[in-house]
Structure 1
């Protein structure tokens, strides 16, 4: 053998339509620098229109492409056995009017959800009872409790999601980010299981 390198496939990458994908894009490579440079620059697949949004590139297909070009190299694969290739098409920009409509819809929907929840749990009656318990007087509109509660509710949501616009308060992921991460893992597993057979057929014809 002329040399040995270690190849570890990336879990997911993003490419453009009609792009030619190289081994270096698909994997992390370690070993002899000369061999590493050659293998990294080796194209293994060209994205086609019929690929749509997702292509799953299998480790055996990649190794076969490398061995055809460099049969004397010792390639030692480690890690994942496939890479999910996401084809990113140019998205239409969201107009200011559309952004405003979406924001208004979410604002009204979340406001109604909070109000309905408070009505279900009788929050108004609770504040009235608390006010009477503390002051000994009845008050139909205990604003001294309701206003701080409303402000605290909004502040609590901001702290819970760990974001205010694009600013992050600390490095901990928010619960929404954790759920999105778990969803992405489940989605990748589903894609690997359902798209792999079709992708292998495409690769054999490639």
Structure 2
């Protein structure tokens, strides 16, 4: 009896009204002639009743495949569930909306930076630093303020590791790490909630 190894994909994105095949939700390790047939095996069909998340349990897949392929032994590796996120058709983003959001973020960021500098008396610190270095009083030490402002902007770019779509290196930015952690927590919650609902339907 041939052994087929399956490793479930933890999360995939699909479009509405689409057949989900085994190759979409799992990695398959099997002889070539069997693997091609297994990859095309339909597992689930997205319908209008599905909202935006569908969870496929690996045990249901094993039962389905065992009934269809009685001469194969299936071994499961990795995650026990695959979360299918149904993507809705997205409209093109309006230029006015992008401009409004950009302006809102720009003003909010500027106000945050200015209020922070006001709270820590940054201007007074720069004036004292100018006096310590030159021995002269100057209310606007531009030779300190201008490089500081440029460095502040450059530091933000390096911190977020992005210049529009371009990355400076392969390391994820702190924002990307936070988004990833949030997605992990969300997936765990969805899986737990689904398992809890299934337990309620298990007969005593």
TM-score where L is the length of structure 1: 0.93
Mapping 1:111-190, distance limit 5 Å:
111-190=110-189
Task: Verify the 8 A CA contact 1:29 1:36 in the aligned structure 2.
Answer: yes
Task: Verify the 8 A CA contact 1:161 1:175 in the aligned structure 2.
Answer: yes
Rounded Cα–Cα distance in structure 1 between residues aligned with 2:198 and 2:167: 39
1:13 corresponds in structure 2 to 12
2:59 corresponds in structure 1 to 60
Rounded Cα–Cα distance in structure 2 between residues aligned with 1:199 and 1:42: 25
Task: Verify the 8 A CA contact 1:58 1:200 in the aligned structure 2.
Answer: no
Compare 27-36 and 112-121 and name the one that shifted more. 27-36
Structure 2: gaps (5+ residues):
none
Structure 1: gaps (5+ residues):
none
Q: How many residues align?
A: 202
Mapping 1:48-127, distance limit 5 Å:
48-127=47-126
TM-score where L is the length of structure 2: 0.93
For residue 68 of structure 1, report the CA deviation from its aligned partner.
Answer: 2.1
Greater than 2 Å deviation, 4+ residue runs? 195-202
Compare 79-88 and 69-78 and name the one that shifted more. 69-78
Rounded Cα–Cα distance in structure 2 between residues aligned with 1:37 and 1:45: 18
Task: Verify the 8 A CA contact 1:57 1:199 in the aligned structure 2.
Answer: no
* Backbone CA RMSD of aligned residues: 1.8
For residue 196 of structure 1, report the CA deviation from its aligned partner.
Answer: 3.8
For residue 197 of structure 1, report the CA deviation from its aligned partner.
Answer: 4.5
Mapping 1:21-32, distance limit 5 Å:
21-32=20-31
